[in-house]
Amino acid sequence: MIQSRKGLSDIVTNVLIILLVLVAIGIIWAFVRPSLNQGASQLEGQADCLTIQMEAKSCVKETDNSYSVQVFRGAGEGDFKGYKVVFKDVDGNTKSFEKKATTDVIDTLGQVKFTATATDLGAFVPTSVDVASIVDVKSNPEGRTCDLTAAPVACA
Q: 15-41 pLDDT, tens per residue? A: 999 999 999 999 998 988 887 766 655
Statement to judge: residues 34 and 72 lie in one domain: no
Statement to judge: residues 51 and 76 lie in one domain: yes
Judge whether residue 2 has pLDDT over 60. no
Statement to judge: residues 30 and 62 lie in one domain: no
Statement to judge: residues 33 and 68 lie in one domain: no
Statement to judge: residues 142 and 70 lie in one domain: yes
Separation CA 30–CA 25 (nearest Å)? 9
Statement to judge: residues 68 and 120 lie in one domain: yes
Please state the φ and ψ torsions of residue 76, each to the nearest 5 degrees: -65, 145
* Enclosing domain of residue 86: 46-154
- DSSP 8-state class, residue 2: P
Statement to judge: residues 55 and 38 lie in one domain: no
Of 70, 89, 61, 29, nearest to 156 (Cα)? 61
CATH number for 115:
2.60.40.3760
Please state the φ and ψ torsions of residue 69, each to the nearest 5 degrees: -120, 130
Q: Contact 108/73 with Cβ under 8 angstroms?
A: yes
State the pLDDT at residue 22.
Answer: 95
Statement to judge: residues 2 and 74 lie in one domain: no
Statement to judge: residues 7 and 65 lie in one domain: no
Q: Give the tens place of pLDDT for each residue, 72-98.
A: 988 877 788 889 999 999 999 999 999
Query: The whole model's pTM is what?
Result: 0.68
Statement to judge: residues 99 and 36 lie in one domain: no
Judge whether residue 101 has pLDDT over 60. yes
Half-sphere exposure of 22 (CA within 13 A, CB side): 6
Percent of the chain with pLDDT over 70: 87
Mean pLDDT for the stretch of residues 60-71: 91
For residues 5-15, b (16+ Cβ closer than 10 Å) or e, as one string? eeeeeeeeeee
**Of the ranges 89-93, 100-104, 110-114, which one carries the lowest mean pLDDT score?**
100-104
Judge whether residue 7 has pLDDT over 70. no
Instruction: Tell me the β-bridge partners of 97.
Output: 85
Q: Give the tens place of pLDDT for each residue, 113-149.
A: 999 999 999 889 999 999 998 888 777 777 888 889 8
**Domain tally, the chain:** 2
Statement to judge: residues 125 and 86 lie in one domain: yes
Statement to judge: residues 51 and 126 lie in one domain: yes
